[in-house]
Amino acid sequence: MDGRAGHTIGARIRYWRVRRGGMSQAVLAGLAGVSQSYVSQVESGRKTIDRRSTLVAFAAALQVTVADLLGQGTEPGDPARESAAECVPAIWSALIEIEDGERRPPTRAAEQLAVAIERSDQLRMICNYPAMARMLPSLLLEAAAVGGPSFVQAAYQASTCLRHLGYRHLALNAARVAMSAAESVEDSAWTAAARFAYVQSLPIESASLAAKAADRSLAELQADAADVRMRQMLGQLHLSAALTSTVAGRLDAARDHLAEATREAASLGDPADGDGFNGCGFGPTNVGLWQMSIAAEQGEMGRVIELSRTVRPQVLAAQNRQLAYWLDLGRALADSGRRDTEALRAFVQAERAAPVPFALNPLARDAVVALAQRARRRAVSDDLRLLAGRMGIRLGA
């Protein structure tokens, strides 16, 4: 096994462990609160890391960031990533210019700008982040010149795109731009959307801070909860707070937020168009998807599989929601090592739902490598070999 199979989280953990004065697996295991055998299996690619909190523990023990372990924003070799990376300096420059208060005269009519923002949003919904990245530099500058909800929406789109491409620090900048723009818009739903983008963009290491930011936003914005769009965004903030609280070990707070989101979703129902306000898709289906992610974070893989039987992700328009369903299910099925055939089918469905983010997702890549490592004792199936090949992972004969 070669090629990008070496670019796994486990391989990076081993690299940084050796860099830290030849730290032994036993020492790393003690610092991260896991067993030495687990470290060995992760480094060899036979086992994946399924919990964000475990990633944080490894990163802290190795004195690096989670992004360093994920290889986000730095890994060469993937055409989609490289295509997007070419646009990142221009996006960064546009964000700096906007944050410094510079405003260029608009060159597009309001109608043209609205069409461009709608096109960018369509690309967001189908997860074509490289194509979005090519639009964003000029779109951000044009929207900043006009201001209003268009500016908030463009900055929100930039934050989402950058986060999924692995440039979380720039996603955070874009979220701050969105929050600043929302202050001048008399529409609290966009304020809530900008706050949600901010919470989502904070690094995994800042899960406790993210949960507190969501709590603060919920308290400040609750007075405007009569509006359906606002209720949807508040529901999203509850879901985000539930997951980040789980990562931070605040399980009581996580249960409270999840219960509130569940209650609100039951009242609203799934959005009829599958989108909801700003494509958030809040409703019972989205709550079920977040419940799966929270169960995975708690290490309850059987619960993930159980929940999957009650969730129909196809009712939501955003392809990243369908990706999340199949990826969480596939990782849960693969956890025991005894249901790898079913796990592979789930990963193939995840790729079909959203090919670009699936290929870019380091957790998805690790899961496919782990399946291949276990299959070497028998034979790597054609389906697994083809899936790995599409992700740029070359498997030996």
Q: Would you list the domain boundaries of the chain? A: 2-70, 75-186
pLDDT band at 360 (very low <50, low <70, confident <90, very high): confident
> What amino acid occupies position 33?
G
Residue 359 pLDDT: 87
pLDDT band at 1 (very low <50, low <70, confident <90, very high): very low
Res. 155: pLDDT tops 80: yes
Instruction: Using the Cα atoms of residue 20, residue 21, residue 26 and residue 27 in order, give the sign of their dihedral.
Output: negative
Res. 229: pLDDT tops 90: yes
pLDDT band at 80 (very low <50, low <70, confident <90, very high): low
Hey, which of 180-189, 246-255, 388-397 has the most confident mean pLDDT?
Answer: 246-255
Tokens of 234: 């508040």
Whether 46 contacts 368, CB under 8 Å: no
Whether 286 contacts 239, CB under 8 Å: yes
Domain 2-70 fold = 434 Repressor (Amino-terminal Domain) (1.10.260)
Tokens of 282: 């809040």
Instruction: Indicate the pTM of the whole model.
Output: 0.91
Rounded Cα distance between 246 and 267, Å, is: 25
pLDDT tens digit sequence for 119-143: 999 999 999 999 999 999 999 999 9
Q: What is the DSSP letter of 265?
A: H
Rounded Cα distance between 19 and 248, Å, is: 28
Res. 51: pLDDT tops 60: yes
Task: Locate all alpha helices (DSSP H) within 309-361, ordered by sequence.
Answer: 319-334, 340-353, 355-360
Tell me how far apart the terminal alpha carbons of the chain are, to the nearest angstrom: 8
- What is the chain's percent helix, strand, coil content, to nearest 5? 75, 0, 25
Residue 3 pLDDT: 40
Residue 4 pLDDT: 43
Scan for tokens 């687990």, then name that residue. 38
Q: Rounded to 5 degrees, what angle do the CA atoms 382, 383, 388 make? A: 95
Q: Rounded to 5 degrees, what angle do the CA atoms 372, 377, 379 make? A: 65
Instruction: Using the Cα atoms of residue 393, residue 391, residue 157 and residue 318 in order, give the sign of their dihedral.
Output: negative
Q: What is the DSSP string of 103-141?
A: -PPP-S-HHHHHHHHHHHHHHHHTT-HHHHHHHHHHHHH
pLDDT tens digit sequence for 203-227: 999 999 999 999 999 999 987 778 8
Whether 113 contacts 143, CB under 8 Å: yes
